Structure 1
Amino acid sequence: MTRHIIFDCDGVLIDSEILSFAVDERMLPEYSITLGAAELARTFGGVAYREMVAELNARFGTDIDPAAYQQQCEAELARLFATDLRAIAGMAELLGGLTVPFALASGSDLARLDQCLSITGLSEFFEGRIFSAQQVTRGKPAPDVFLLAAKTCGWEPESCLVIEDSPSGVIAAGAAGMRCVGFLGGAHRNAGDEGILRDAGAEYVAGSSADLHRYLRELGLISRNGDGRG
C-alpha cells in the first residue's frame, strides 16, 4: 500500500529542464559535441552531470572534466533561473492537497535545489526532506538517492510512490522497489514521450499536474476537497 510519495524536482515540480538542456546545447559545441536540447532531454533527463559527462566522453571520445563542465553550466543556469524559472502550473496546489508524507529526491546538487525551490516558492513543502544525488555514490538510474530518501524518512521502499519525468528516474524507482508514475507536464516533454516512460516501468503517465492530481486522488493520496492534512 502506498503511504508516501517521493518527487523528482526538475521537470516535475519546476520547469527547469527546458532551460537546462538549452544551456547544454549551447555549451557542448565548445567540446566538439553537437546535440539538440530535445535529444539531450530524452537521453539525459534526470541524470546527474557526472553520469552525463561520462557517457558523452565515452560516446564522442572527448575528455570533458565533469566538475568543470558542471560549474560552467551551473553559473549560466543560476543567471537564467533567476529570471526565467517557474514552478510547473498546479504543483503548489497539488502538494498542498496531499494527505500522506512526501519528500524530494533529485539528481541536482543541494545548492541548486535550494535556489530553485526558493525561486519557485516550493521550499516550504519540503523542509528537511530534500535529497540529492550529491549525497550518494551513484546517481539515477541507480536507486541510491531514492533509497536514501526512504531510509532517512523512515519509510519502507515498497510503501513509496515516485513521480518522475525521465526514463532514468523511472528505472531508478523500480530498482529501489518503488512504484512510479511518469510525468509529462514539463515544457521539455510531449505526449509522444509517454512510451519511453512506460517502457522504463511507469505504471501510469500523467500528461499534466491536473492529470497527476486526479490519479493521486484515485489512489487516496489527495483529499477530495483539496484541503490536504488540514
Structure 2
Amino acid sequence: MPVELVIYDCDGTLIDTETVYAEVTLAMCHEVGLTSWTVEDYWSNLVGIPLADGFKIIEKALGRPLPADFEEKAEAGVAARLAGEARALPGVRQAVSRISAARCVASSTTLEPLRHNLTLAGLIDLFDPHVFSASQVPRGKPEPDVFLFAAAQMGVVPERCLVLEDSVPGVLAARAAGMRVAGFVGAAHDKAGMRQHLTGAGAAIVLDGYEEWPRTVAALGA
C-alpha cells in the first residue's frame, strides 16, 4: 500500500537530544536521592514517553514525590544545554527532502519545546506547520493518540502512514494506531540492544542512519 504520510518522532530520531535529556535527568535524580539509577535505567524506562509519565516512574523508583520544582528545573537544564548542542542527526535534511510523501512530526515532547528544538536544529522549515505533540491528546505513547491525531490533521488514513521511531513506546504506539513503523538506532546508547527491542515491538525494519531511509520508504510502500 502506498505511503502517503511519513510521521517522524523527534528526540533521538531527527535530533540527537536523548543524551542531553539523560545526563540532565540523571544528575537531578541523583540530587534527590535516586543514586542507583544509571544511563541504562534512563534508556530502559524513560525514552519515548511524555515527560510527566517519566516523572511518575522516577517517583515510584525513588519511593516518594519529587520536589515541586523538579519538572521546571529539568526543562530549564535541558533547554540550556540544547541551546548550544541541538543538532540534526546526519543526513536528515537530505533524506527527508527526497521523499515525496507528506510529512509531519509527532513527538512526546510538549509542543513549545518541540518546535523550539526543531528550530535550534535547523529543521523546522521541513515540517512547519505540521508539528504535533502528545500534549495535544489525552494519552502519550505507547498509546496511539498522538499518531492518530497527526494522521487526522494531515487527512491521511492510518493504513497509509509510515512512522519512524527510535523507542519501544513509539513503535508500540504506531502499531496500535494501525500504521507501519520503522525503527531508528542512529542515536541509541546501545544500538544492538535497541535494534532487538524495536524489532520485538513490531518495527518492520531498523535503520542505522538516514542514508537508506528514502529507499526504505519506497520499499515499505510498494
Range into which the TM-score falls when normalised by the shorter chain:
over 0.9
How many angstroms apart in 2 are the aligned matches of 1:70 and 1:48?
Answer: 12
Please name the residue that 1:164 is paired with.
Answer: 165
Contact 2:34-2:61 within 8 A present in 1 as well: no
- Whole-Å separation in 2 of the counterparts to 1:201 and 1:219: 14
Displacement after TM superposition at 1:152 (Å): 1.0
Distance 1:195 1:116, change over 3 A: same
- Give deviations 1:47-85, integer Å, cap 9, x for gaps: 1111111122233322126x7322211101111111111
Q: Does the 8 Å CA contact 1:163/1:180 hold for their aligned counterparts?
A: yes
Matched residue SS, 1:188: coil
Residue 24 of structure 1 corresponds to 25
Q: Map residues 82-97 of structure 1 onto 2, 5 A cutoff.
A: 82-97=83-98
Rounded Cα–Cα distance in structure 2 between residues aligned with 1:183 and 1:111: 24
Residue in 2 aligned with 1:185? 186
Which deviates the most, 210-219 or 13-22? 210-219
**1:167–1:197: 8 Å Cα contact kept in structure 2?**
yes
Report % sequence identity. 37
Matches within 5 A, 1:175-214: 175-214=176-215
2:7 touches 2:164 (CA, 8 Å); kept in 1?
yes
- For 1:14 and 1:89, the matched residues in 2 are separated by 9
Q: Partner amino acid for 2:55?
A: V
TM-score, scaled to structure 1: 0.90
Residue in structure 1 matching 2:58, options 56, 59, 78: 56
Q: What secondary structure is seen at the aligned counterpart in 2 of 1:5?
A: strand
Query: Does the CA-based 8 Å contact 1:91-1:209 persist in structure 2?
Result: yes
For residues 68-108 of structure 1, give each alpha carbon's deviation from its aligned partner in whole angstroms, at most 9, with x where no partner exists: 32221110111111111110000011111111001100000
SS in 2 for 1:214: helix
Task: For residues 109-151 of structure 1, give each alpha carbon's deviation from its aligned partner in whole angstroms, at most 9, with x where no partner exists.
Answer: 1111121111111011111210011111111111111111011
Any stretches of 5+ residues in structure 1 without a counterpart? 222-230
CA distance in 2, matches of 1:210, 1:169: 22
- How big is the shift at 1:38? 3.2
Contact 1:56–1:62 under 8 Å retained in 2: no
Secondary structure of 2:42 counterpart: helix
Q: Which residue of 1 aligns with 2:45?
A: 43
- Number of the residue aligned with 2:15: 14
The one-letter code matched in structure 1 to 2:168 is P
TM-superposed CA distance for 1:208, in Å, is: 1.2
Number of residue pairs the alignment of both structures matches: 220
CA separation in 1, counterparts of 2:108 and 2:80? Answer: 20
1:187 Cα deviation from its structure 2 partner: 4.9
Which sections of structure 2, spanning at least 5 residues, go unmatched?
none
Amino acid at match of 1:183: F
TM-score of the two chains, using structure 2 as the length reference? 0.93
Q: Distance in 2 between matches of 1:24 and 1:122?
A: 25
SS of 1:210's equivalent? helix
Query: Within 2, Cα distance between the matches of 1:124 and 1:156?
Result: 24
3-state secondary structure, aligned to 2:164: strand
Counterparts of 2:146 and 2:120, CA distance in 1: 23
Partner of 1:73: 74
- Contact conserved, 2:188 with 2:194, CA < 8 A, in 1? no
